[in-house]
Amino acid sequence: MTNQSPTEHYLADALQTFQVYKKLAERAFAQITDEDFFKTIDEESNSIAVNIKHMAGNMLSRWTDFLTTDGEKPERNRDIEFVMLPGATKDEMIAYWDRGWKCVFAAVEPLTPEDLMRTVTIRGQNHTVIQALNRQIAHYAYHVGQIVFLAKHFKSSQWQSLSVPRNRSAEFNAFLEAKTKESETARQDRLNEVVDFARKSEHGS
């Protein structure tokens, strides 16, 4: 990392951030039943499935031909992303989710520092590539937070924590310090470390 330029570091960090949010959401909806996947908590809320449908629709629109076409594709029907059609299955929605993320990574991974100040458009408004990346990171983080909230609500006391459990911050800091002493090749990423800590805490080990 120390040999990276600021722009190289930014691109690597942006890519990793997308990967972390994808994994966080998947660890949330993997914990719930198929029924809860499509459940809403009130008439105004979206289900986890609807959040996935909207995110994937956004991804396919924003990242297809990212550098050369407007991010709001003419064929996109945003309103229908918030309507869950009868007969939809969890497997179908996850496949659509994977298709959306594949489009994200296919667009982001080839970006170079020279691309960052290029101009792209979203709904006819100019954005630098940096602005477009930041816009989508913030958007996906917003909806992943909703997914995690809903999954935790439905799972209740059986929820496997994806963050530091309450009143365990000091223990987690000590846990991380011990991890740091291990070899770099043996260390996990931060989300894995949090889940590992939460699991050990639940089992009293």
In sequence order, what DSSP letters do the residues of 80-94 get, joined into one string? GGG---TT--HHHHH
Query: What are the residue boundaries of the structural domains of the chain, listed by start?
Result: 6-156, 160-205
C-alpha span between 191 and 163 (Å, rounded): 8
Stronger pLDDT, 120 or 170, i.e. the higher one: 120
In the block, which residue shows the tokens 């993997």? 30
Contact 72, 61 (CB under 8 A): yes
- The mean pLDDT value for 51-66 works out to 98
- The mean pLDDT value for 3-29 works out to 95
C-alpha span between 116 and 124 (Å, rounded): 19
User: What pLDDT does 182 receive?
Assistant: 55
Phi, psi (degrees; rounded to nearest 5) at 109: -60, -35
The answer regarding whether domain 6-156 maps to CATH 3.30.110.30 reads no
C-alpha span between 90 and 150 (Å, rounded): 15
Residue type, 176: L
Q: Is the pLDDT of residue 159 over 80?
A: yes
* 187 confidence band (pLDDT: 50, 70, 90): very low
Contact 30, 11 (CB under 8 A): no
Residue type, 88: A
pLDDT tens, 73-85? 999 999 999 999 8
Strand-pairing partners, residue 120, are 127
User: What pLDDT does 167 receive?
Assistant: 59
**The residue count for the chain:** 205
Q: Is the pLDDT of residue 144 over 70?
A: yes
